[in-house]
Amino acid sequence: MGLLRLKMPPKFQLLALLAFAIAMIFLENQIQKLEESRGKLERAIARHEVREIEQRHIQDGAKGALVEEDDLVVIYNRVPKTASTSFTNIAYDLCNKNHYHVLHINTSKNNPVMSLQDQVRFVKNVTLWKEMKPAFYHGHVSFLDFTKFGVKKKPIYINVIRDPIERLVSYYYFLRFGDDYRPGLRRRKQGDKKTFDECVAAGGSDCAPEKLWLQIPFFCGHYSECWNIGSKWALEQAKYNLVNEYMLVGVTEELEDFVMMLEAALPRFFKGATELYRTGKKSHLRKTSEKKPPTKESIARLQQSDIWKMENEFYEFALEQFQYVRAHAVREKDGELYLLTQNFFYEKIYPKTT
């Protein structure tokens, strides 16, 4: 090569180098294309193998999968005045079509804390009542840790929470005027015409900051400290339970998104829920009557309390978590939300099937 280079004119040497460089670039491109093709082929083979495995086991596993799905239990320990009736009605409307049972947990005087013996009874019912599975339980009951009772398979917890002042205002007027769900039912404070603002100005007990303390203890559970108003331990325990014990916690202000994600995650129960929420007559069924928005002055007075600060911290924590989950589950296009498709697959499966 050195001898040729000596005999070749510089012009031809340059052309030879250029041709060599072009040839190397071409070869590199071809190698890269081959690598990409090999990668695509490996992924295609992996998908084919997964399909073969699924096809081979579908008959053997169908019964087991069906039994597993039919053993599901969902508990919605609903917080009062968070659009819980609107959401629960969706579950009732879908139960026949999706073949599951809905059971209301009706506690005496709506007490959210069960006695120890009732906790044991409830855990046994939920776990062993096979005739009622799959089941959707709902009621105004605080969170109950099933693992304390030796249960291996825990139920799936879900919930919805609301801006704490909005929730209190709604509850205040509900006790006096009821709602459009059962308008003829006499309420506990019926006849009291005092507005929420007048109550706050007068320092009334029904609008006191202490009445805000509800969503934290509902998530905290059946520990005594959960119900000590203003407990920082209760706040932290509620946060822990929300993240570790609940599959999904939505917010009243974004209820449709909550329904959409539940349908994607639990189609056994919620298939068709999004469409029903958007078009059904019961999606906004329960509306508190005679409710008047509070003034800025009333809101400011409540926001001065440490109790509001803690309940609002919990609400903001739940909202941030919900929006984080939603950001990884849905996208918006032309003003409409749509669910993301499956974004993972399996490859490099060994040993190879024959």
Catalytic residues: 138, 140
Contact, 185 vs 195, CB < 8 A?
A: no
Q: Residue 235, Cβ neighbours under 10 Å: how many?
A: 21
Distance of CA 14 to the CA centre of its chain: 67
> Mapping DSSP to helix (H, G, I), strand (E, B) and coil, where does residue 146 land?
helix
How far apart CA 199 and CA 352 sit, in angstroms, is 73
Tokens (6 digits) for 127: 């776990």
- Tell me, what DSSP letter sits at residue 293? P
C-alpha torsion sign, points 85, 101, 159, 144: positive
- Measured between alpha carbons, how far is 152 from 50 in angstroms, rounded to an integer? 30
Residue type, position 209, single letter: P
Which residues have CB under 8 Å from 8's CB, separation 6+? Answer: 16
Secondary structure of residue 334 in the 3-state scheme: coil
Give bridge partners of residue 255 from the DSSP assignment: none
d(CA 345, CA 349): 11
Look-up of token digits 């709604």: 170
Q: What Å distances lie between residue 50 and 39, 59, 65, 340, CA to CA?
A: 16, 15, 17, 22
For the chain, the first-to-last Cα distance in angstroms comes to 52
Residue type, 205: S
Rounded distance, CA 252 to CA 213, Å?
A: 17
Looking up tokens 């339980």, which residue turns up?
137
Residue 223 DSSP symbol: S
Q: Which of 57, 315, 35, 9 is nearest to 164 (CA)?
A: 315
